[in-house]
Amino acid sequence: MTTTDTSIESTIDRLLDELLGELDPKGDPVEFLGAQFDKGLAWIHFPEGLGGLGFEPKYQSRINQKLADAGAPNPARRNVIGYGMGAPTVLTHGTDEQRHRYLRPLFTGEEVWCQLFSEPGAGSDVAGLATRAIKDGDEWIVNGQKVWTTVAHLSKWGMLVARTDPELPKHQGMTYFILDMEAPGVEVRPLRQITGEAEFNEVYLTDVRIPDSMRLAERGDGWRVSLTTLMNERVAIGNNVVPRGDGPIREAVRIWRDRGGSPADRDELVKLWIEAEVARLTNMRAAESLDRGTPGPEGSISKLVYAELNKKIYEFAVSLLGADGMLYDSYEMTVPTEFAPASEHDVRRSFLRARANSIEGGTSEIMRNILGERVLGLPGEPRVDKDLPWADVPRS
């Protein structure tokens, strides 16, 4: 550890002690997270005044661990889409006015965010989206449909990508907006999942007006901005394996202990714990690469590993329950009234929900394609639409 590291860690520890001394971490979460943001402990690598101190991102794990040990609220669980994807996108591509307007209430969870990318005809190939935005003076008029939108029914803001120039090739004719989910013409409909819950939604946009001041980056830059969101999404999804020994693996350990598991089960549990730790370290490397502005393949690695590992851990946990693993309270449709994940102790629900991990945020097959092409240098899939104007691409 260098002298600089020691000095930075001393500064962080002092600020953490101040924060925990001034406010009860188990009190009002909005007040506590607001104070955390103001002290620069929200995203340590962000600039001062925007939730950070301009330090390297590696110090964030020190902050998160100490606050978790104190029982402080987790901002990612209060606003996972905004925290993991919205914040880095706004920081990278937003104006100073947009950064100061959106980042603090995003971090505190006062304003929940959602992601409006996928459409009925554009999921894995998100660049093929058809939602249109037409310029009308200082506004844009948007029409289209989005689907599989997590917590859209709870969100104040949506990260929207729409087609603004259909005569250009599909990757060049998109623009990125921040959408007010309460604006006239926005209709949110719930989608029932296998768990019975409806955290996903379909969103219909009918003559929705968006001020040009809520555009991120320039017209036609939508794909470039979207890549920032997507790369951070994969890291955010993979981030569910940290901190060490937490999350799904913790529940598997708890059940093994409570049920008096066999030595063979213990052997399998240790193997899964090691996999979870490898995934955690890989994700830390991915997060640091993104924050340094040098995104690499680690985000896809993290997302792929997390999706498959999560399923394996919950399958194992349910198997430890024996016949009790077949019990489930109710499959009746319920719409969450707040953004909070189901109890991690409900491993039966988590077992069912984990099926979606290999689909959301890019399927495991897509992640393997990315790694094959961009890491191993394998040839990409043939594309007939690369240079065609989007309007001329054949569609079924």
Q: List active site positions.
A: 233
Which structure tokens are listed for 196? 């019975």
For helices 364-374 and 298-320, the axis angle rounded to 10 degrees is: 140
- Please list, in sequence order, all residues whose beta carbon lies within 8 angstroms of the beta carbon of residue 147, skipping any fewer than 6 positions away: 118, 119, 120, 191, 201, 202, 203
Strand partners, 159: 115, 178
Q: Are 50 and 103 in contact (CB under 8 A)?
A: yes
DSSP one-letter string for 328-379: -S--S-B--SSS-PPPTT-HHHHHHHGGGGGTTTS-HHHHHHHHHHHTS-PP
Rounded CA-CA distance 213/98 in Å is: 9
Rounded CA-CA distance 30/9 in Å is: 25
Q: Exposed/middle/buried for 340, CB within 10 Å: 0-12, 13-18, 19+?
A: exposed
For 184, which DSSP code? T
